[in-house]
Amino acid sequence: MEIVPAAVWIAHDPECHQMTANQAAYELMRTTVDSVATVTLADGVYQFKFKLQRNGEDIPSEELSMQKAGRTGQVVE
């Protein structure tokens, strides 16, 4: 995954509670490789300093692309 010149996240469960990311993804999130790679931890704690927004509105975790695809099994564009 480190050779890919883009941020990559891989979910290990449908709810995206456990995810793996490459170096580019950690840099984008401004965290280190030993940090958590998901915004949807099972305990519900959000530990990042950034917000995920669309048109100035916070995006609920259930509406995030990977989480929605994992939960519904449908393609998300």
Kindly list the domain boundaries of the chain, sorted by start residue.
9-72
69 Cβ partners below 8 Å, 6+ apart? 75, 76
Q: Which two tokens stand for residue 22?
A: 């490459």
For residue 8, the model assigns a pLDDT of: 95
Pairing, β 19-21 against β 57-58: unpaired
For residue 37, the model assigns a pLDDT of: 85
Q: What is the pLDDT of residues 7-48, one digit of tens each?
A: 999 999 998 889 999 999 999 988 888 888 888 877 777 778
For residue 24, the model assigns a pLDDT of: 94
Residue type, 64: L
For residue 21, the model assigns a pLDDT of: 94
* Phi, psi dihedral angles at 53 (to 5 degrees): -135, 155
pTM for this one?
A: 0.77
